[in-house]
Structure formats: structure tokens, C-alpha cells
Amino acid sequence: MLDELLYSAFYMWQLKPIKAPERSYLCHLTLQGIGSASVESLTSHIARLAQSHNVFPGTLMERELAPIVNKAHGGANLHKIYDHTATLNGTGVMAFNLVQALQGLTLHTNIHCLTMIPWADVLPTRGLLRSVRAWCPVCYEEWHSNNKVLYEPLIWTINEVKVCYFHQRSLITHCPYCQCTNRPLAWKSRPGHCSRCQKWLGSSPSQEPSDISKTELDWFLWVSKAVGDLLAVTPHLNSPPNKQRVAQVLKFYVDCVTQGNVAKLARQLQVPKNTFWLWYNGSNLPTLESLIRICYCLNTSPLNFLTGELQTLNQEQLSLLRSSGCKPRTAARAFDRAYLQHLQQKLQGFLASDKIPPLSMREVAKYLGHDRRTIYRHFAELCHEISIKYDDYQNARYLAAIEQACKEVHRVVLELHAESIYPSEARVSERMNKAGYLRYKKVRAALREAKVAVKS
């Protein structure tokens, strides 16, 4: 009886095949900050993706992404694109190819929002992205303390963004431990850590004194807010703005502000007339830096300039345009005793550092945020010692390279002689790792000596 009931119940079941969701080849990590000014960058997502698979980003790029991208410019092979990894967050073909590859491997459909690709038609690549990694140490510290995901926002990669909007402090570009800069994506990149020495980059607000004047800070915050608005609206764009939008808006403002006088508006915006004319005709596009300055003068935002409705300026806005200038003039930094002591300690630290290669005085000045002449005026002796240290290193490096090239020449000549091949300069250069060193007198002399030696 029980068997009959079970048998009838079995045939009453309406079995249907289960539709399992499609599986991604790589981890389907949540894209951080999508739809906000703090959206993460593509290079950051790659670093997090590698960390989730317990491999280095270089390994992930080389083994999984490079075979898919496989382009002449090096594809996703970090060994070939080390100096160009900033462009992976940009608007060009390298970013596009990598986005396409990651979409297939992670099944994310909006991974392009981690780059500037949606703005490719209105923002030129020139000057758009900084070539080195930048970060806010206070952001890192807060995320770590609150057990939040560590990542690097796309806004940190934008060249015109100099401060963290939330903490109102300068973005850092040099590791405080090894004093090195980091590439946007390196073989061992890890969010929150230096890709060279692997030290933690976070710090509390008290450890990061602000060295920005009030006028500078107001300008930098305005720029950060303007760029952040562009990034936040990216996923919600029905259609990205096209190249003609810029020319259309400029023509509108020429008619509105100067009654059709192109040269007059160019003067008011402090832009060369010929440059402005090319923008006005749609032949060229203003860089992000120029676009930001124009929008500041016109009392609008880049987002409204590129995507919003055009509105006639009232008399108050017109008077503001004529008197504002394109950028607030920054006040000179007051070099009081405490700040001079701070700079002196920094310079002494650079001088005592064992970092290889040592920084040049130009790099030191850039790191400190001052003109070299200003620093020399206050610390001539320290600056001179830093320059001597850098020159000594470069000279030693040059001599070592020449010596190595001489040894290589001798080795290649012996190899050719053993193969019964005449060691001409062309044949020797073909087998050298760095044939360009043959232009040096000492290396050429070594070649002549090696030829004489094999003859005798």
C-alpha cells in the first residue's frame, strides 16, 4: 500500500530543470562606489581581483588577461606597459580592451564605469591622468578601522584633483617609508600598501598636517567636487556627450555673453584666441584643466557644461565672469620658523635615505610642493648636498654601465671568433643587450682591443 502511494506521488511531481546562474571565470567582486564620486578605478579593481585569487596583479594580468587582449601595444602584460598603466583608467584603446576582457571574465556589465571611457568624446587624454599613484592616507585609515573594503577611487587618478574632498588634505604620491612613487598598477600592487616596500600607507588626521592655504584649499575643493560630479553621474548617462557638445556650448556662451564676439570671450576667459577658436569650431577639445577653468569663470560645473541644459546668464553672473579670472590667485606660503624646521627635517631625511636611486633636487622639490629656487633660498647647503649625492649616483651608475658594456663586447667578440665569424661592429651590436653603448669611446676602444686579442 505504501509503495503504491509513493509511486503515485512520484508521478504527481512536476519536475523542472533548475536554471543555475551563469558562473564567472574570475571572482564577481562588488564594484566599489558605483554611482558616486568615490567610484573605484579599474587598476584598483584589478589589484583587488588578484588579491581575491591570492596572486599578484602582474601574474593575473600576464596569465589571464594578456592572452585575451593580445594587442601589439603589449596588451595586459605588465612588463610591457609598466610606464603606461595610468592609461588603463583612461579613455583610450588600452582601457577599452581591458574592460572588454574583464567583462567576459567577471560578468560585470558596467565595469567601464571604473574608467573615463564614457567621457572619451569630450575629454582629451592629454593631461587627464597622473602618471603615478596618489592616495589619501586618512581615507585608508578610516576604511581599515571600520573594516571596509580597501580600494583606490578613480578620482585619485585624475591629474587635476590635488586634495581629498572628504578630509580636505593633499593627496600623497610618495611612500613615507621608502620615499618612492608607485605606478598606478604594479606587479605587486595592493590597495592601501606601497607596491615597492609593501608598507601600510594609512595614517590618522593628526599625522597628516595640512600645508595648503585657505585660498588654495577652496580652489582644490571646487575642482574635486566638479570632477566627482562627473564620475558620479557616469552610470546614469543615457548617452555620453559627443564632441560637438563643447562647440555648441561655447557658441551659446559667445552669443549670450559677448553678443557673438569670439575674441572678447576668449580674453575674458584668459584663453589664447587661436586656441579658443579651434574649440569654438569643434576642431579641438579643451583639456580637463582648461574645461574646469572655463566652467569656473562661467559660474557653472563641468557636468552642466557637458550634459545640462543651457541657461542664459543674468547680470550678476555676467559681472562675476568679468571680474573672477579663471582661477583664484593663491597666496604665498608663509615660511614661519615651525614650517622651516619641518622642511629642514624633510630635506635631511632625503639626504640620509638609503633609497636607490636617490631623488634629484627637482624630485625633492616636487614632493615638497615648492619651487626649487624657493627651497635653495632657505637651505642652500642641504640642497647642494642632495644634488651632489644624486650626481655621484648617476656618475657611478654610468661608469658601471660602461664597464659592463666593455665586458659584454669582449664576450661577444670571443663568441663570434669561436664561430669563425668576423666580429664587425654591426655583428657585435646585434648580440649586445644594449647596443647603444657602442657610441661611447671607451666601449669602442674595448671592441678594438678585443679584435686585436683574438687575432694574436
pLDDT digits (tens, 9 = 90+) for 226-262: 999 999 999 998 888 888 999 999 999 888 888 889 9
Q: Where are the domains positioned within the chain? A: 23-235, 241-324, 337-455
pLDDT of residue 292: 93
pTM: 0.69
Q: Which helix (H) or strand (E) holds 263?
A: helix 262-268
Does residue 323 have a pLDDT over 50?
no
Convert the pLDDT of each residue in 279-300 to its tens digit.
999 999 999 999 999 888 888 8
CA angle (205, 206, 211) in 5-degree steps: 80
Helices of type H across 172-243: 214-233
- DSSP letter for each residue of 284-302: S---HHHHHHHHHHTT--H
Q: What is the mean pLDDT of residues 372-394?
A: 89
Q: What is the mean pLDDT of the chain?
A: 85
**How confident is residue 315, by pLDDT bands cut at 50, 70 and 90?**
low
Between these two residues, 7 and 360, which has the higher pLDDT value? Answer: 360
* Range 387-398 average pLDDT: 89
Q: Is the pLDDT of residue 321 over 60?
A: no
Residue 144 has a pLDDT of: 94
Instruction: Tell me the pLDDT tens digit for each residue of 106-138.
Output: 999 999 999 999 999 999 998 899 999 999 999
**What percent of the chain is modeled with pLDDT above 90?**
41
Between CA 225 and CA 229, with CA 226 as vertex, the angle to 5 degrees is 85
Tell me the per-residue pLDDT of 16-40, one tens digit each, with 9 for 90 and over.
677 777 889 999 999 999 999 999 9
pLDDT, tens only, 348-377: 888 888 888 888 888 888 888 788 888 888
C-alpha span between 194 and 176 (Å, rounded): 9
Question: What integer pLDDT is reported at residue 124 of this predicted model?
Answer: 92
> What b/e sequence results for 426-437 when a residue is b if at least 16 CB atoms lie within 10 Å of its CB, and e otherwise?
eebbeebeebeb
pLDDT for the residue numbered 314 = 57
Residue 228 has what pLDDT? 96
Q: Please state the CATH superfamily assignment of the domain spanning residues 241-324 in this structure.
A: lambda repressor-like DNA-binding domains (1.10.260.40)
Cβ–Cβ under 8 Å, residues 359 and 390: yes
Check if the beta carbon of residue 317 is closer than 8 Å to that of residue 307.
no
Quote the pLDDT of residue 208: 53
Confidence bin at 11 (pLDDT 50/70/90): low
How far is 227 from 321, CA to CA, in rounded Å?
A: 21
Rounded distance between C-alpha atoms, residue 118 and residue 141, angstroms? 31
pLDDT tens profile 130-167: 999 999 999 999 999 999 999 999 999 999 999 999 99
* 411-456 residue pLDDT tens: 989 988 888 888 888 888 888 887 778 888 898 899 889 888 888 7
Rounded mean pLDDT of 300-322? 70
Angle subtended at Cα 187 by Cα 404 and Cα 368, rounded to the nearest 5 degrees: 80
Contact of 90 with 116, CB cutoff 8 Å: yes
pLDDT for the residue numbered 171: 93
pLDDT at 74: 56
